[in-house]
Amino acid sequence: MYEKGDQWFRTGDLLRKDKSGYFYFVDRIGDTFRWKGENVATSEIELVIASVPGVKDVNVYGVQVPGHDGRAGMASLTVEPTFSLEELYSRIRAELPTYAQPLFVRFQPEMDLTGTFKHKKFDLQAQGFNPDLIKVQSPRSI
């Protein structure tokens, strides 16, 4: 398969090759996602949201939106009573480019972590923003 002299460049993009030999973008690999033709690093969004007063923890990931290529940003938050949606909105609008601004926000009473204390994203991505798959909670009920 590989031959001496072959070269490659790791983009973080997952591609699909059709029978004619053309390549098509499918998804991003790692803690990034692609939305509106831009690669978005979840860590950049998490830093901005974590700086909002009242945010205890944040987990950002991309979710599929039917009829759109790539994945839209979604943020899962655990918050304190002092949290303000208005402040969150203001910071996101001021500090992130439009393509990196999460379109969906989910509130959780506690963040799901792995055994090594990393944020679990797979289940959250699978549930996306579908209220039939998740229990909707307001920040004041947490």
CATH of the domain at 68: 3.30.300.30
Tokens 């790692």 correspond to 30
pLDDT of amino acid 8 = 73
Tokens 């792995």 correspond to 114
For 88-106, what is each residue's pLDDT tens digit? 999 999 999 999 999 999 8
Global confidence as pTM: 0.68
Is 114 among the domain residues? yes
pLDDT band at 50 (very low <50, low <70, confident <90, very high): very high
Is 14 among the domain residues? no
Listed residue (47, 46, 30, 40) closest to 99, CA to CA: 40
Domain that holds residue 50: 32-134
User: Phi and psi for 28 in degrees, rounded to 5?
Assistant: -100, 155
Cβ atoms of 52 and 87 closer than 8 Å: yes
Is 142 among the domain residues? no
Domain count, the chain: 1
Is 6 among the domain residues? no
Q: Which residue has the higher pLDDT, 41 or 141?
A: 41
